[in-house]
Structure 1
Amino acid sequence: MSAVIQTERWAAILALAFSCQPSGRSALTSNVHTGPLLVQKPLYPEGPAVCHATILHPPSGIAGGDELNIDVTVHDAAHAVLTTPGATRWYKANGKPASQTVTIRVEAGASLDWLPLENLIFEQADASNDTHIQLAAGAHAIGWDCYQLGSVIAQGHWQAGLITIHSTLHYDGKLIWTEAGQVDAQHPIRHRGAGLANFPIMATVWSVGPVISAEQMEQLTASLPWTDRLRAGASQISLDASTSLVLVRLLGTHAEAVRQLMIACWQHLRPLHLGIAAIPLRLWRT
């Protein structure tokens, strides 16, 4: 019996919208999906004002040729928290690139926590991950992205593959932050001190809200490590007289340590930018 080779690609779309009800409850008011992308039943561990939803991708990984599109809108006065139940795995491409595009819109007076777990980039993957954030004036949001290149226990970590990352953030219709990068497994940038410095894991935490005082930023930067296993640095960019973007860059050797540091940054920044305490999600502890 000859082996059957799976050639079908997964094309998936998930479009979500959150709205504030007259009672003050944030509700998932639109949930449209095509293909293997969906959300679990919304939960309210922080009370009715904050709606938590978990994005599921039943195939458990993104293979060559797959195309995922996630579209999120948070309407005025609503607050949504979105995460994933586990890491996103990008598998061997077999000559076909895979992509995920995330588009986030947050209206004035609304808030969003975008907290997906890490992306695991397997050998010979050809992955493209685009994230586009559009915030109205007066919107508050915090989020992160994390990438593990290959195996942390393998010599050299990642021998073959390609990851392309493109991120943009617009505030009040203006482009505030943009990044575009492509990392090949064999590119020297992975080993240079001004690049990834031989670390297999890279991450960014971003947060938009009221300007943070110099003292509060000093507290954040003083808490960040700089060791052979885990490194991080933070900066603040003014968007207008009362609003700022804070960026925290992280490099690490183990995903769990990087994740815990991202959570610590979230716990520091969420009260300052979103005005609400940050209690780690139960899902992260399972």
Structure 2
Amino acid sequence: MPDCTVPSDLAASAAHAAWQASLTVGFADAAGTTRLFNNIHHGPLRVQKALYPEDAKVCHAIVVHPPGGVVGGDQLSIDIGVGDRAHAFITTPGAAKWYKANGNVSRQAVHLHLNEGATLEWLPQETIFFDTANVVLEQDVELAAGATFIGCEILCMGRRGSGEVFNTGTVTQRSSIRRDGKLIWWEQGAMVGGRLGSPLALNGHTVCATLIAAGKALPAAVLTELLSQIRADIAADGDHVFGVTHTKGVLVARHLGDDSETARRLMLTVWRRVRPLLLDREAVTPRIWQT
């Protein structure tokens, strides 16, 4: 996506009443094939048909929000379950856009739960917050024994390409990961318009990206080599504000910058290193990301 620049028609988007949309999706293993089932949606939020660009084991699905953007007051709820030994890969067809608040708070609650030996790759494309947006984002991940989760987010504050700065909005986030009911990751914070220049915020940048992976335990030597390879890959790409760490079974990679395409490229670099080790699969870039 070029510099987080997107066309907008705020007047048309604001004309509708607040959407109350929900999506519930399940995936199950059937003799080595991951099947999409229990596809229930209410309002403008749905999943298109199951896709198998790799093989029958990995079911790819695309979450679609037909209005194309979220207006102040919209409420979105997503619940995705992955059954024993099933493997789901979830993405979106393009950037998510959160428009101005119009005096109301928009919310998105994501609940991801994985059964024993299940895998979920949650890799939506970037999210763009227009100036004055007031957004609350919540994400809870529940992992059973042997389950693997790889998730990524790219957040764009304002639209740099059109000169818009995120001056007056607020984006509040909370995310958690639990394994067998035990909390292994918790993060919360708020990005307040007009204060993103602080070193405690984005230090003057407009794009932040995070990739989190929680899966099988890796031997210390393998983990050390993985982190070294990731850092070398990023250094070879250029001079970036980037870091990667691993603690208590959770690998976290972060990037601060000003361009969504760069953020995506760096997060894909990390994913291509992590996926083979955690999932015994090479990384296959979804075709939808290349259109």
Q: Same fold (TM over 0.5)?
A: yes
Q: Is 2:278 the counterpart of 1:270?
A: no
Question: How far 1:211 sits from its partner (Å)?
Answer: 3.1
Match of 2:250 in 1: 245
Q: 2:155 aligns with which of 147, 150, 161?
A: 147
Within the candidate set 39, 42, 54, 1:46 is matched to: 54
1: CA distance, partners of 2:137 / 2:200: 23
Match of 1:166 among 174, 179, 189: 174
Q: Tell whether the 8 Å contact from 1:112 to 1:142 is kept in structure 2 after alignment.
A: yes
Pair 1:258 & 2:267 matched:
no
Aligned partner of residue 12 in structure 1, secondary structure: strand
- Alignment partner, residue 58 of structure 1: 66
Q: Is the 8 A contact 1:229 1:252 kept in 2?
A: no
CA distance, structure 1, for counterparts of residue 164 and residue 92 of structure 2: 28
Q: Tell me if the contact between 1:270 and 1:277 (Cα under 8 Å) persists in the aligned partners.
A: yes
- Shift in CA distance, 121/225, structure 1 to aligned 2, threshold 3 Å: farther
Does the Cα contact within 8 Å between 2:144 and 2:179 map onto a contact in 1? yes
Secondary structure of the equivalent of 2:160? coil
Structure 1, unmatched stretches of 5+, are 239-243
Aligned to 1:102: 110
Determine helix, strand or coil for the equivalent of 2:215.
Answer: strand
Deviation per residue, 1:224-265 (Å, 9 max, x gap): 249997321001112xxxxx2100011111001101111111
CA contact (8 A) 2:131 2:165 kept: no
Q: Offset at 1:271?
A: 0.8
Aligned pair partner of 2:19 in 10, 35, 53: 10
SS at match of 1:258: helix
Note closer, same or farther for the CA distance 1:264–1:227 as it changes in structure 2 (3 Å cut).
Answer: closer
Compute the displacement of 1:221 (Å). Answer: 2.2
More helix by share: 2
Matching residue within 179, 182, 189 for 2:190? 182
- Quick one: structure 1 residues 121 and 229, their matched pair in 2 at CA, closer, same or farther if it must change by over 3 Å? farther
Instruction: Mark the runs of 5 or more structure 2 residues left unpaired by the alignment.
Output: 1-10
Aligned to 2:28: 19
Would the aligned equivalents of 1:196 and 1:202 in 2 still touch at CA under 8 Å? Answer: yes
SS of the aligned residue for 1:224 comes to helix
Q: Is the 8 A contact 2:191 2:201 kept in 1?
A: no
Alignment check: 8 A CA contact 2:26 2:37 kept: yes
Match 1:193 to one of 192, 199, 203: 199
2:28–2:36 contact (8 Å) kept in structure 1: yes
SS of the equivalent of 1:210 reads coil
Q: Structure 2 residue aligned with 1:216, among 214, 223, 226?
A: 226
Change (3 A) 1:155 1:58: closer
TM-score, normalising length: structure 2? 0.90
Please tell me whether residue 285 in structure 1 is matched to residue 279 in structure 2: no
**Corresponding residue number in structure 2 for 1:235:** 245
Measure, in 2, the Cα distance between the counterparts of 1:184 and 1:200.
12
Offset at residue 200 of structure 1 (A): 0.1
Kindly provide the amino acid, as one letter, of the partner of residue 279 in structure 1.
V
Higher relative contact order structure (alpha carbons within 8 Å, sequence separation ≥ 6) = 2
Matches within 5 A, 1:121-140: 121-140=129-148
Residue-by-residue CA offset, 1:94-150 (whole Å, 9 max, x unaligned): 001101110000111111110101110001110111111111121011111111000
Alpha-carbon distance between aligned partners in 2 of 1:282 and 1:228, rounded to the nearest angstrom: 26
